[in-house]
Amino acid sequence: AIATREALPEGVRPDTFKRHLDACTRCPIGCRATQGVPGEGPMTAPVMIVGEQPGDAEDLAGRPFVGPAGQLFDRCAQAAALPREKTYVTNAVKHFKFTPRGKRRIHQRPDAGEVEICSWWLDLERQWVKPRLILAMGATAALALTGSARDITRRQSTLEATRDGTALLLTTHPSYLLRLPEGAARQDATARFIADLAEAARICT
């Protein structure tokens, strides 16, 4: 349930973004996480990459895709000749949602209401960057950008559009690849993910 719906802050700029995110309590996730995790990359990036939400490592570092999923993403991006530093990398939801279990913090998927509330920040980033292509990694990013929760596996590698008409390439989330047992299925899924990243790379170069 959404605890608070505060008025949206005015005058958020790229240089004040992190401060505003840190102060955001518009949904319960923001109240519990360590800090907000803004997107990262040039404001002129032709490609924007959108994940789900910061994980444990990102919540501590304050940077997107630096933990295990981020490291896999980096390896796949390299294989696809997609230079991460030329892209703008962000998440649909800007705070880490988890349940504590002992000393561990177990990832929880943000619900549709939280995704909707947080899309205000993503929309701002999209206005700043104005990417030619957005790569949506996983169901949460797809939901945030299209409003549709239709099965992501059926939509992978297809082009859709955001509600305001930006080209959107859908792909899987690297965490999904990490959860697959090692073997042929994981290899195939990884190859397909790399092919999607290569498609995005064609726009970057």
What is d(CA 132, CA 161) in angstroms, rounded to the nearest whole number? 11
Q: Which of 70, 98, 121, 201 binds ligand URA (CB under 6 A)?
A: 70
Report the residue number whose CB is nearest to ligand URA.
51
Nearer to ligand URA, 3 or 178 (CB): 178
Nearer to ligand URA, 133 or 176 (CB): 176
Kindly state whether residue 114 participates in binding ligand URA, applying the rule CB under 6 A.
Answer: no
Kindly state whether residue 171 participates in binding ligand URA, applying the rule CB under 6 A.
Answer: no
What is d(CA 49, CA 11) in angstroms, rounded to the nearest whole number? 24
Check if the beta carbon of residue 171 is closer than 8 Å to that of residue 141: no
Check if the beta carbon of residue 33 is closer than 8 Å to that of residue 23: no
Kindly state whether residue 67 participates in binding ligand URA, applying the rule CB under 6 A.
Answer: yes
Q: Percentages helix, strand, coil for the chain, rounded to the nearest 5? A: 45, 15, 40
Check if the beta carbon of residue 72 is closer than 8 Å to that of residue 174: yes
Give the per-residue contact string, 32-51, with ligand URA (x = CB under 6 A; - = no): -------------------x
Nearer to ligand URA, 6 or 98 (CB): 98
- DSSP, collapsed to helix, strand or coil, labels residue 141 as helix
CB of 10 to ligand URA, least distance (A): 27
Nearer to ligand URA, 26 or 173 (CB): 173
What the block records as the tokens of 164 is 């305001």
Check if the beta carbon of residue 81 is closer than 8 Å to that of residue 107: no
Instruction: State the residues that interact with ligand URA by CB under 6 A.
Output: 51-55, 58, 64-65, 67, 69-70, 91, 175
